[in-house]
Amino acid sequence: MILLASAFGQLALAHYLLLSGVLFVIGLVGFLSRRNLIVMFLCTELMFQAAAIAFVAVGRYYYDFSGQVFVIFILTVAAAEAALALALVVLLFRRKPTLNAEDWRDLSE
Amino acid sequence: MILSSIIQRIVLATVESGGLAQPETEPVISSDVVVATHHWWAGFILYLPLISLILCGLCAAMKVKSKLPAWITTVCLLGSFVLSLLLYFDYGGSPELIPLLSWINLADPGGNFSGLSANFTFYIDSLSLLWIMFVTGLGTLITFYASEYMESDLGKGYTRFFAGVSVFLFAMVALVLADNLLMLYLGWEGVGFASYWLIGYYYQRPAAVAAAKKAFIMNRIGDLGLALAIYLIWTTFGTIQYDELMDVIQSGSWKESYDGWTIDAIPWFLMLAAFGKSAQIPLYVWLPDAMEGPTPVSALIHAATMVTAGIYLVARTYEFFLLSPESLHVVAWVGGVTALLAATIGLAQHDIKRIMAYSTVSQLGYMFLGLGVLSTYGAAYHVFTHAFFKAVLFLTCGAIMHGFAGQLDLRKLSGLIRIPGWRITSIAMLIGCLALAGFPLTSGYFSKDAILAEAFITQGPGFEALGWMAIFTAFLTAYYTFRVWFRVCAGKVEYEPGDEHHGDDDHGHHSEAFHPHAPRFAMNFVMAVIAIGALAASVPYFMDTKADEALAGGWVADMVHDSTAQGGLPGLDRHGQSMGDIVEHGHAGHQGEGDHAHPTLFGMDVHTAMYVISGVVGGLGLLLAAWLHLFRRQDADRLKAFLQRHWWIAWLPRAMEHKWYVDEIYQGLIRAPLWIASHLMYAFDRFLIDGLLVDGIARIPRMVARWFQPLHNGIVQSYAVTMAGGVALIALLMILFLQFWKIGGGG
Amino acid sequence: MDGILPYIECFAALVALYLILGRGGRMTKVLGILGGFAALAWMYVMAGTEIIGGEGVGREVLFLIFGAIAISAAVRMITHSRPVYSAINFVFVVLSSAGLFLLLEAEFMAFALVIVYAGAVLITYMFVLMLAQQASSPDKITEVPEYDRVAREPAAAVTVGFIFLSTIFGAVYQGIPSMPPPAGEIERNMVRAEVLQGLPKQLKSEVEKIDPSFQWPPDIDGNKNMVHADATGIFVLGTTEAGKHQPVRLPESAGPRNTQFVGWDLVARFPASLELAGVILLLAMFGAVILARRQIEHGEDELREAVGLTRIHDWDDDPAVTEEGSSA
């Protein structure tokens, strides 16, 4: 709190935003390249995480707490998504014991 | 159901017009036109052919195998003829209206437009009386003739034939007696349809079908002109009823709201209509082909009556032509050129019926010439005489065709007058030929003179040359007419039968076994009567019923006198007169000729000179024909060989025999371009519109879908790739765009 | 040339990621890790030099540490072949993010993140993973399934990632210099004053802690403001020993604290969104319960009978059953 209290300028913001971008892209690449349904959902959580960092950083830059409030909503959505997604995974897994996303192609039909 | 309702309407209309109940809307009548409700029975001139049609339809439905339809039609038409005669004798001398049925009555109470009235009302004046008498009279006779002529078709097309004749007569009566242009148009279309019906009577013959189509399509071109003319007349003059039109034109009230161009357009459209129906250049080519129909049809429709409808139309709407003088010059020239052209073609044909057809075209050209040189009287008189002598010529041709199994080639027939049973035919044909050739003191002589003389009297562009051309045509006419008669009727007896098969013929078709069957009572009777009529048709020329000394031309001139065609009567001197003067003159009662300097020809009065000239010319033609085709037929062959041997002249007989290649020219100039254009448009539509635009555009989504199909494989990540890549690309584009925009804005 | 350098960085970073993801041997992966770190270091330095133009680079050690942990844990998460380890790596990401949040003065969010994510969500994931792992192949429990071992089309994924990262970098590099300046002291203090004014009880106790002689209530100006802000801090005006209209400066520690800020914003500015979030969570709970509920195929009636309840199936269909039930 004390450390960066008065020196949060554009440079610091840029660092946070770039970090958030890297995390987001790692999440995206993971989502695209992993085949395990649960890991894919974890990757979406990672992307949420990256977005949350960006929100908080920009909110800090403008000294506007809406950024943090928005992170609360992100947490809400992430939690809801996790609940529903995992329930769906359980449902699917019960039908066919695999977590491979490619095994569920027939869902598109 | 339909028949009964029609009959009911007819009866009701008759009762109404008989004075028991007046029509609800009384047409506006001009002062000198009387409403003659006491002539209600005149309606039956129109209804009787309709009744005949209905009865023929019943006969067809009951499969009648006897000659009953012929008798029905003959009796009905005879009734029409008798009523026409009664009407003539009861005619008071001034135009009268006989209301039959209310049809169209539109009025605008606000007065913004003039309203439209078109009712089934007869307009009776001397012109329509003249026409209706020879239409119904010849119709009756020719139907009687056909009852025998068509007997080979008994049980097959017999009823259909007479139903067609009934339709024709019905439409023709409507055309002639109409009191407005719309009813005339109805009849005009009706006769065209009946013509199509009857030309295509032998519908199993491809030539007949093609001829019927040709006639119909050619007539449609003319009909378009009539329809447009009617529209323009209505918009310009505010009415389409003859009596009101006369009033409007003569009072000049139409000039108040005149917008400047319709006056000149109306005669041209009317001309188009008349040229289509009456077979003039450029629409004449259907008439020779129309000879594919049964001969009585050719005689009745395509020689005597229907083709004169164009003359009637021009005579009826003569006022419009007088308003636009150049149009009359065109009429005259078209008529004169058609007369000459058709005569030259007629010279070189071998089919006698076809010669008669070209002769008809030629004579119709004379009539238009007469109209064009302000001789409506001459035109009307020529229509009248032509109806008789051309009918008799066609009927004799039909008799020959009937007797010789369809043989019409004049090279294969000879000496008919010496074959027992053919004497009446031959003499009737001789009378017809004399009249057609304009032999002195025959009917054709006087009627043709009336036109020719007027061509020299009336001033117009090249009218004198036109007159000499017409005289030359008269010479050609005399020649080719007697070529037919000398070849077919005179000389030694020789004949070959045609190839037409009559189902009830008991003889074979080889010449040694062939015996021509001579016409029996009905045909002989009709031919004799009409031949006598053709002779007697010269009598009216000397009848002065109305005792107007200045008015040359006798009864027929008298008939034209009170009609819409009175602008073109003989005895009017027109030098330097405006058309308005002519109209006024017509009403002033035809002043004498002595007031003005009279035109002369070779020091003689034009009429007198013309009697001499055309008599000489006719005689010359006759003599030439006699030399080449009666006494020394080998000279004709030698002449032909001579003509063909020399290249500088050889084209002439060939071109004449091939009808001046007009059909081929039409083929090349109109049909081929149309064919090519339509095929181009078909290809355009097929490949460009259908193929590229319609199907091509429909194919684009499918192609695009095929590119992206691999992405749609059910794997979540594929969708994610698409989505993320798309989002990233859009964002990238936005950034780049912003960058450039910033650079541009900053710079 | 300078313009495309960031994109070359992105490309290098993702090539490194590809090497780690890819099917190569251990050496390749080590190379990838080293290359990745090199690229990240380059990015960091570049960010300092390129954006601000070589001005003094703040070496925030904690940021570096947390950032490095977050990124390496994230990479490990998406590369690890065992989903459980992925989940554990994700916990590291969450924890380092929480550290970053602390650096950003977002203490409430930091702890909320740890509690909600690391504590609740990730545990749920773990449960589901265990469930799946247990059922998938009971005989070969240690065998990692093929779909976890081999990445699916890493090249395509990395390409999309490159485009995305380039976009983000492009936006940051171009956007940051043109951003409005950060909030200065006055703006900070105005926000503090506004929020503190909404907390009168705390305000009173804080003011009295500093100056016990302060006579409550303080002065209220024309805009009905009690707490005022200037460049050096916030203060209230009121009657003290020294006289009337004396300012009492409130130190940073007087608040409002971060939790109060967030709570104020949440309740005062986004109440409807707050309600909506609650509804979403409730519905998600219903949905999860309904989706994951196991269909009872048989035996429910028997179980009911076993505990002495009436049957719920075949109530009307079978008269015998009905009689039995009624007699029972």
As for the ipTM of the complex, it is 0.90
- Alpha carbons C92 and C65: distance in angstroms, whole number: 12
Tell me if A39 and C58 make a contact (CB, 8 A cut-off). Answer: no
pLDDT of residue B511: 46
B596 has a pLDDT exceeding 80: no
Q: Is the dihedral of CA B554, B556, B557, B558 positive or negative?
A: positive
Domain limits, chain C: 2-178, 185-254, 267-327
C71 has a pLDDT exceeding 70: yes
pLDDT of residue C48: 58
pLDDT of residue C9: 76
B531 has a pLDDT exceeding 60: yes
Tell me if B715 and A31 make a contact (CB, 8 A cut-off). Answer: no
Q: Could you say which of A28, A101, A109 has the minimum Cβ distance to residue B715?
A: A101
C217 in Cβ contact with C260 (< 8 Å) = no
Check CB contact of B731 with chain A, cutoff 8 Å.
no
B396-428 pLDDT per residue, tens:
998 988 888 888 888 888 888 888 888 888 999
Nearest CA in chain A to C39: A22
| Cβ-Cβ contacts under 8 Å, A102 against chain B | 715
B156-180 pLDDT per residue, tens:
788 999 999 999 999 999 999 998 9
Alpha helices in B489-605 (DSSP H): 521-536, 554-561, 579-588
pLDDT of residue B495: 82
Tell me if C160 and B725 make a contact (CB, 8 A cut-off). Answer: yes
Mean pLDDT of chain B: 81
Tell me if B717 and C166 make a contact (CB, 8 A cut-off). Answer: no
B571 has a pLDDT exceeding 80: no
C251-294 pLDDT per residue, tens:
877 778 888 888 888 888 899 999 999 999 999 999 988 887 77
pLDDT of residue A109: 62
CA distance B724 to chain A (A): 8
CA distance B715 to chain C (A): 11
Q: Could you say which of A32, A107, A109 has the minimum Cβ distance to residue B717?
A: A32
Least trusted range by pLDDT, from B207-216, B498-507, B601-610: B498-507
Q: Which chains touch B (3 or more CB pairs under 8 A)?
A: A, C
B434 has a pLDDT exceeding 50: yes
Residues 6+ away with beta carbon under 8 Å from B476: B340, B343, B344, B346, B347, B621
Please name which of A32, A74, A29 lies closest in space to residue A54, comparing C-alpha atoms. Answer: A74
Tell me if C147 and A36 make a contact (CB, 8 A cut-off). Answer: yes
C156 has a pLDDT exceeding 90: no
Q: Could you say which of A101, A106, A109 has the minimum Cβ distance to residue B716?
A: A101
Q: CA dist B186 to B132, B190, B244, B585, Å? A: 17, 6, 19, 33
- Of residues C144 and B528, more confidently modeled: B528
Alpha helices in chain A (DSSP H): 10-33, 37-62, 66-95
B309 has a pLDDT exceeding 50: yes
What is the CATH topology of the domain spanning A10-101? Helix Hairpins (1.10.287)
Q: Could you say which of B728, B736, B738 has the minimum Cβ distance to residue C160?
A: B728
pLDDT of residue C290: 86
Average pLDDT estimate for B536-551: 64
Check CB contact of B4 with chain A, cutoff 8 Å.
no
**β-strand C227-229 against C234-240: which pairing, if any?**
antiparallel
B677 has a pLDDT exceeding 90: yes
Least trusted range by pLDDT, from B63-67, B235-239, C249-253: C249-253
| Cβ-Cβ contacts under 8 Å, A101 against chain B | 715-717
C87-117 pLDDT per residue, tens:
888 988 998 998 888 888 888 888 888 888 8
B447 has a pLDDT exceeding 70: yes
Token pair 């039409």 is found at B666
Least trusted range by pLDDT, from B328-342, B504-518, C162-176: B504-518
Check CB contact of C243 with chain A, cutoff 8 Å.
no
C136 has a pLDDT exceeding 60: no
Band (pLDDT 50/70/90 cuts) for residue C145 is confident
C64 has a pLDDT exceeding 70: yes
Tell me if B714 and A31 make a contact (CB, 8 A cut-off). Answer: no
Q: How many CA atoms lie within 13 A of B158 on its CB side?
A: 24
Exposure of B128 by Cβ count < 10 A (0-12 exposed, 13-18 middle, 19+ buried)? buried
A37-58 pLDDT per residue, tens:
888 889 999 999 999 999 999 9
Least trusted range by pLDDT, from B6-10, B345-349, B666-670: B6-10
Domain limits, chain A: 10-101
pLDDT of residue C134: 55
- Of residues B603 and B406, more confidently modeled: B406
Band (pLDDT 50/70/90 cuts) for residue C49 is low
| Cβ-Cβ contacts under 8 Å, A79 against chain C | 116, 120-121, 281, 284
Check CB contact of C232 with chain A, cutoff 8 Å.
no
Least trusted range by pLDDT, from B16-30, B513-527, C181-195, C271-285: B16-30
Q: CA dist B221 to B226, B271, B276, B401, Å? A: 9, 11, 7, 32
B739 has a pLDDT exceeding 80: no
Tell me if C164 and B721 make a contact (CB, 8 A cut-off). Answer: no
Residues 6+ away with beta carbon under 8 Å from A88: C291
Query: What are A's interface residues with B at a Cβ cutoff of 8 A?
Result: 28, 31-33, 40, 101-102, 104-109
Tell me if C262 and A81 make a contact (CB, 8 A cut-off). Answer: no
Q: Could you say which of A28, A40, A106 has the minimum Cβ distance to residue B714?
A: A106
Among A9-13, B133-137, B301-305, the range of highest mean pLDDT? B133-137
Nearest CA in chain B to C165: B728
Please name which of B81, B83, B300 lies closest in space to residue B194, comparing C-alpha atoms. Answer: B300
Average pLDDT estimate for C44-56: 52
pLDDT of residue B170: 94
| Cβ-Cβ contacts under 8 Å, C170 against chain B | 732, 735-736
Please name which of C222, C256, C217, C209 lies closest in space to residue C236, comparing C-alpha atoms. Answer: C217
Check CB contact of B713 with chain A, cutoff 8 Å.
yes
CA distance C183 to chain A (A): 5
- Alpha carbons B366 and B338: distance in angstroms, whole number: 8
Which of B716, B718, B723 is best to mutate for the A interface (most A CBs within 10 A)?
B716
246-265 in chain C: CB under 8 A from chain A: 261-262, 264-265
pLDDT of residue A54: 94
Q: Could you say which of C47, C70, C261 has the minimum Cβ distance to residue A15?
A: C47
CB pairs under 8 A between A and B: 25
pLDDT of residue B172: 94
B185 has a pLDDT exceeding 90: yes
Q: Which CATH class is domain C2-178?
A: mainly alpha
- Of residues A2 and A15, more confidently modeled: A15
Q: Which two three-digit tokens encode residue B667?
A: 């083929």
Tell me if A87 and C131 make a contact (CB, 8 A cut-off). Answer: no
Among B124-128, B194-198, C316-320, the range of highest mean pLDDT? B194-198
Tell me if A68 and C109 make a contact (CB, 8 A cut-off). Answer: yes
| Cβ-Cβ contacts under 8 Å, A104 against chain B | 714, 716
- Give yes or no for a cis peptide into C217 (omega within 30° of 0): yes
pLDDT of residue B720: 83
| Cβ-Cβ contacts under 8 Å, B732 against chain C | 163, 166-167, 170
Average pLDDT estimate for C226-245: 80
- Alpha carbons B262 and B241: distance in angstroms, whole number: 18
Average pLDDT estimate for C208-228: 79
- Alpha carbons C239 and B109: distance in angstroms, whole number: 97
| Cβ-Cβ contacts under 8 Å, C112 against chain A | 72, 75
Tell me if A26 and C74 make a contact (CB, 8 A cut-off). Answer: yes
Tell me if A109 and B712 make a contact (CB, 8 A cut-off). Answer: no
| Cβ-Cβ contacts under 8 Å, B726 against chain C | none
Tell me if C174 and B721 make a contact (CB, 8 A cut-off). Answer: no
Mean pLDDT of chain A: 84
B268-298 pLDDT per residue, tens:
999 999 999 998 888 888 998 888 889 899 8
Q: Which chains touch A (3 or more CB pairs under 8 A)?
A: B, C
Q: Is the dihedral of CA B605, B610, B615, B616 positive or negative?
A: positive
Nearest CA in chain C to A64: C191
Please name which of C88, C147, C143 lies closest in space to residue A33, comparing C-alpha atoms. Answer: C147
